[in-house]
Structure 1
Amino acid sequence: MSTVLRASAGPERPVNNIWLYAWAALAVVAVVAAASMQSGVGSMIDTWLHREEYSHALMIPVISAYLLWQQRAQLARLELQGSWVGVSIVLFGALLQIAGVLATVEVVQQYGLLIAIYGLVIALLGVRPSADLWAPLLLLALMVPLPQFLLGNFSSQLQLLSSQIGVWFIRLFGISVFVEGNVIDLGGYKLQVAEACDGLRYLFPLMTLGFIMAYLFKVEMWKRVLLFVSSIPVTILMNSFRIGTIGVMVEHWGQSMAEGFLHDFQGWAVFMTSAGVLLLEMMVLASIGRNRRPWREVFGLDAAEPIDRTAPPIQRTVPASFITATVIVSAFAVGVMIAPERTEVPPKRETFFGFPNQVETWSGRRSALEQVYLDALKLDDYVITDYVRGGREVVNFYVAWYDSQRAGNSAHSPRSCLPGGGWHMKEFGQVEVPGVQVAGKPLRVNRVQIELGNRKQLVYYWFQQRGRVITNEYLVKWYLFVDSLTRQRTDGALVRLVTPLEIGEPVEQADRRLAEFAGQVTPRLERYIPN
């Protein structure tokens, strides 16, 4: 089944109106689908407006549309071949969006919308013609923010790497400096390499710029790929150079060099310098290989070819695949709009305010987290207590509870946080705690042996969430999605036990201490962490 539309003739009007109508229909359907998932699109736009890492993403749809407009003459000559592959892609994107809406997981909605748009284009043009539009379409993927847990892990790793390279640069100037995780100690001053200095605010914009430069770089594909991929190490190195420069300036002219306007100006200068490095790399790539040409001949935006308005009329048909894909997307949009809103209901539980300070033979002294950590963790309830037995044996007990983890506010893995404090992970693995059960199953924990100078500690931690004990951070995210979809719950907790090792104390003794404490404290958690 297909619908036939004829283009009107005449030298004063475009002869390919059917083409314009088809693209207009595609745009309208995409907008309707986006409007139906307000939370996903709204969250994405909110990220663009409030997170500097993605402030550039506001321009990505505009740039993508412009790159398509540049090809309007070539597009006007294409036949509307259509493809049922596009319908399959649209169906997958719609199902992904439905799952995201039901689970209220916004990033799933966002990627589902993007996939549906790709499918609509393929359903209209066909697979091969759509491949010619790879750059404007693929560019749209860079506007979708990474999931919060990936962004957090990525940020912490970049902070550590930038700190280490920055310290190496500072030492080149003969300055005595010591680094503990993200803290650079210059003796008189301590510089904290915070999230604002992790390099992400340069990385994502520079990757977008690198992608556009690679698209406009008319050379072999391997050179274009190399140019785009190199934006990542360039950002890391330049951000580390910035941190090192700040350290040198602070050493000579005081801490004011790391604050205020100068600090912000350095960030702008780093980005512009990074863009210059990419341009220099492009000039070098243009001068090597078999097809050596001046870079000005292979880099630039070609003038758009005008549409031939005197061409004879062209008869086209709207592919049945595109009509089917449009029906699928429209049905999804209507279904989402009329579906009742799903609300999450946290289970009843006791707050940690009443958690006992006496656990068998262990006596505890409760502490409180500083506001700066509470702002970062965004937890709903917590307990942190140092338990002592016999005056010498010490176990630090910490539980972070979240009523909901849908909006990206989830338990921070110690595996990411510990290195930021300067602790070195000597050993990491999973062990089963003998004789201890949680929710009717043996307790399996992450076991980490850490060191900082002469200090050594043994850490047990696990994620206790909705009747499960999980040790894998990525499996935690999977069950969050599943339980949000099937049980309308994303509550959960992180449980962490830490004990210091005395000088000369065998680690086996610390293992026995944590195992014994875990066996005594876990039964008490049932009232505070419901299954």
Structure 2
Amino acid sequence: MGFKDENSTAGQSEAKGTRLLDMQPKLSMALFGLALGLSFWLYWDGLAEAVLRWQLQEEYSHGYIIPLVSLYILWERRFQIAAGYQSFSWWGLPIIVLALAILLVGEISALYMLIHYSFILLLLGLSIAFLGSATRHTWVPIALLGFAVPLPYFIEVILTSNLQLISSQLGVEIIRLCRIPVFLSGNIIDLGNYQLQVVEACSGLRYLFPLMSLGFIGAYLYQGSLWKKVILFLSTVPITIFMNSLRIAITGLLVDNWGTEMAEGFLHDFEGWLIFMACGGLMLFLVLLMELFTTRQSIRQAFAVPVSVSADQYAGGGMTSLKCPLPVVVAIPMLLAALIGLMSIESREETATLERINLATFPLQLDEWTGQDDSIDTEVADKLGFSEYVMINYHNPEQRPINFYVAYYASQRKGVSPHSPKVCIPGGGWEIANFQRTTVDQIPVNRVLIRKGLQDQIVYYWFEERGVPIANEYIKKWMLFKDALFLNRTDGSLIRVTTPVLPDESVMDADQRAKAFIRSSRNQLLQLLPAKSLEGTQ
């Protein structure tokens, strides 16, 4: 019978405990890595769509750089993060739950923007769950990712339209200061011998989004008071508008002197780069002005990044004491459940399909109206993204014209939906003289009186959302979410009726003609578009 060495047993227990302590940080990092991996898998389609928008739209081409800048900031702050770590936090869990709920709403309502912001919110929740109070060093690079999120198309169209008009008006005023006669009609600048159209690409969004990102990064790095940081960031909007207007004015002056080739090709693109560099220069000039009247720091001092914790000071502390992040452990099965639920949603085929309609069969003879088919340019049609459309020019026996247009979308998931004429009308040089919501035989419609010079037109439009006519765009979005959830349908249409106010008639005459056509076409239209209930439809 032998004797047990108590000192040896104690030493073994202590060594085992030490090994467990050494393994704990590695286990914690592995759990966090697993949660991150599941998050990227869960949001993969949404992230892929964002990258596609970065590739296809120059307004978001800066999106490739934003994640790299965020990673760089995190790397630069790694010692502060480690030194500031104390423990995990359960407050991250409700943020994760909220992010997953927003993801569900985004998937069902077909709004990619919700999916993208849900991902950023999820990253913030995971950071709080894993790092606790040390998240004060990570929230800025996480928030920076928001500047890489592409806007929904309907918001982008509204911004583009408004910025086009503002930039055109300011650009024309600058041209007039140079004593050059110029006339502005909507977004068309008439210089007499030449006409310039301020298209979507010249709206200023290509400057605004990258410049706001740069302003946010600059405000974060700026070693100044909070009010200085806010001013620097907010200044990006007026700087963008002014400099874009200046670019339009310079283009107008060059065209007036040397022809329309000055508004095309390499020179036009190079001019855009110069203007963007000038925008950055104006931001630096603003910092110099603020410092001149306050603390008198140089640019180098204003943007010097202080290192509060060095590698030597950090050695032996901080993240080496990582505790098992229990909130992350709880979040992992939640992410798995969300992934399974998302797969089931995406695998569902929508009830309404394109085969149920054929707009090409819409009759050319409609009561007293005789029509002729018209078409939309292929490039424009691709941008609008509809599944099917019909455009017909009708005339009555008195040769009074009506333009009838219907765009049908078999699915409005993932942000593909009709563009509201209210925001598209000004781009053609028309101004909205009057806008109101009314009804025609109990059908809710939008009535718009538009004007270009001395020419007036009456436009009626509304949306047919799964058999329900809707005029209000925001109610339309709510119904889209509700029907996607309960009916598994997101099909919908835009209907537009346009007629000019002819010289020998009043606005009321044209208005009555448009209403009469709506009444005549309504029944034929309802026979082609999917109804509220699809039971028995083939």
Q: TM-score, normalised by structure 1?
A: 0.89
- The answer as to whether partners of 2:108 and 2:413 remain within 8 angstroms in 1 is no
Deviations 1:172-207 (A, max 9, x none): 222222222222222222222222222212211111
Q: Give the aligned partner of residue 109 of structure 1.
A: 115
Pair 394,338 (structure 1): closer, same or farther in 2 beyond 3 Å: closer
Separation in 1, partners of 2:144, 2:368: 61
Q: Give the aligned partner of residue 166 of structure 2.
A: 161
Give aligned pairs, total.
513
Q: Give the aligned partner of residue 349 of structure 1.
A: 356
Judge which range, 301-310 or 237-246, deviates more. Answer: 301-310
How do 1:503-514 and structure 2 match up within 5 A?
503=503, 505-514=505-514
1:490 aligns with 2:494: no
Q: Give the aligned partner of residue 91 of structure 1.
A: 97
1:277 aligns with 2:282: yes
The residue identity in structure 2 corresponding to 1:381 is E
Q: Give the aligned partner of residue 333 of structure 1.
A: 339
Q: Give the aligned partner of residue 403 of structure 2.
A: 396
Match of 1:424 among 409, 412, 431: 431
- The answer as to whether partners of 1:123 and 1:322 remain within 8 angstroms in 2 is yes
How do 1:45-444 and structure 2 match up within 5 A?
45-101=51-107, 105-126=111-132, 128-289=133-294, 291-303=295-307, 305-307=309-311, 308=313, 310-311=315-316, 315-333=321-339, 335-336=341-342, 341-344=347-350, 345-346=352-353, 348-433=355-440, 436=441, 442-444=442-444
Pair 247,21 (structure 1): closer, same or farther in 2 beyond 3 Å: farther
Deviations 1:46-81 (A, max 9, x none): 122222111211121221122122222222122443
Pair 321,372 (structure 1): closer, same or farther in 2 beyond 3 Å: closer
Q: Give the aligned partner of residue 515 of structure 2.
A: 515
Which structure has the larger Rg? 2
Separation in 2, partners of 1:142, 1:68: 17
Pair 385,331 (structure 1): closer, same or farther in 2 beyond 3 Å: closer
Separation in 2, partners of 1:25, 1:165: 55
Q: Give the aligned partner of residue 439 of structure 1.
A: none
- The answer as to whether partners of 1:7 and 1:315 remain within 8 angstroms in 2 is no
- Structure 1 residue 504: Cα displacement: 7.1
Separation in 2, partners of 1:168, 1:423: 19
Pair 81,365 (structure 1): closer, same or farther in 2 beyond 3 Å: same
Judge which range, 58-67 or 184-193, deviates more. Answer: 184-193
1:87 alignment partner, SS class: helix
Pair 360,310 (structure 1): closer, same or farther in 2 beyond 3 Å: closer
- Structure 1 residue 488: Cα displacement: 3.1
The residue identity in structure 1 corresponding to 2:194 is Y
The residue identity in structure 2 corresponding to 1:373 is V
- Structure 1 residue 119: Cα displacement: 0.9
- The answer as to whether partners of 2:28 and 2:325 remain within 8 angstroms in 1 is no
- The answer as to whether partners of 1:182 and 1:193 remain within 8 angstroms in 2 is yes
Judge which range, 390-399 or 251-260, deviates more. Answer: 390-399
Q: Give the aligned partner of residue 30 of structure 1.
A: 36
Pair 163,149 (structure 1): closer, same or farther in 2 beyond 3 Å: same
1:489 alignment partner, SS class: coil
- The answer as to whether partners of 2:390 and 2:405 remain within 8 angstroms in 1 is yes
Judge which range, 445-454 or 471-480, deviates more. Answer: 471-480
Deviations 1:456-509 (A, max 9, x none): 122211011212211122332333333333333222111111222234744333
The residue identity in structure 2 corresponding to 1:119 is G
- The answer as to whether partners of 1:29 and 1:330 remain within 8 angstroms in 2 is no
Separation in 2, partners of 1:6, 1:144: 46
- Structure 1 residue 25: Cα displacement: 3.8
2:323 alignment partner, SS class: strand
- Structure 1 residue 428: Cα displacement: 0.9
1:281 alignment partner, SS class: helix
Q: TM-score, normalised by structure 2?
A: 0.88
Separation in 2, partners of 1:189, 1:312: 70
- Structure 1 residue 444: Cα displacement: 1.0
2:192 alignment partner, SS class: coil
The residue identity in structure 1 corresponding to 2:72 is Y
Separation in 2, partners of 1:54, 1:503: 46
- The answer as to whether partners of 1:444 and 1:469 remain within 8 angstroms in 2 is yes
- The answer as to whether partners of 1:37 and 1:336 remain within 8 angstroms in 2 is no
Separation in 1, partners of 2:278, 2:477: 37
Separation in 2, partners of 1:48, 1:377: 19
- The answer as to whether partners of 1:36 and 1:337 remain within 8 angstroms in 2 is no
Q: Which runs of 5+ in 1 are unaligned?
A: 10-14, 437-441
RMSD of the TM alignment (CA)?
A: 2.7
Pair 339,461 (structure 1): closer, same or farther in 2 beyond 3 Å: closer
Pair 6,136 (structure 1): closer, same or farther in 2 beyond 3 Å: farther
Separation in 1, partners of 2:400, 2:317: 90
Judge which range, 308-317 or 495-504, deviates more. Answer: 308-317
- Structure 1 residue 347: Cα displacement: 5.2
- Structure 1 residue 321: Cα displacement: 2.6
Q: Give the aligned partner of residue 10 of structure 2.
A: none
2:91 alignment partner, SS class: helix
Q: Give the aligned partner of residue 12 of structure 1.
A: none
Deviations 1:257-289 (A, max 9, x none): 111111111111111110111111111122234
- The answer as to whether partners of 1:366 and 1:384 remain within 8 angstroms in 2 is yes
The residue identity in structure 2 corresponding to 1:479 is M
Separation in 1, partners of 2:65, 2:410: 36
The residue identity in structure 2 corresponding to 1:122 is I
1:124 alignment partner, SS class: helix
Q: Give the aligned partner of residue 450 of structure 1.
A: 450
Separation in 2, partners of 1:263, 1:6: 69
Percent identity of the aligned residues?
39
- Structure 1 residue 517: Cα displacement: 1.9
- The answer as to whether partners of 1:432 and 1:445 remain within 8 angstroms in 2 is yes
Q: Which runs of 5+ in 2 are unaligned?
A: 1-15, 532-538
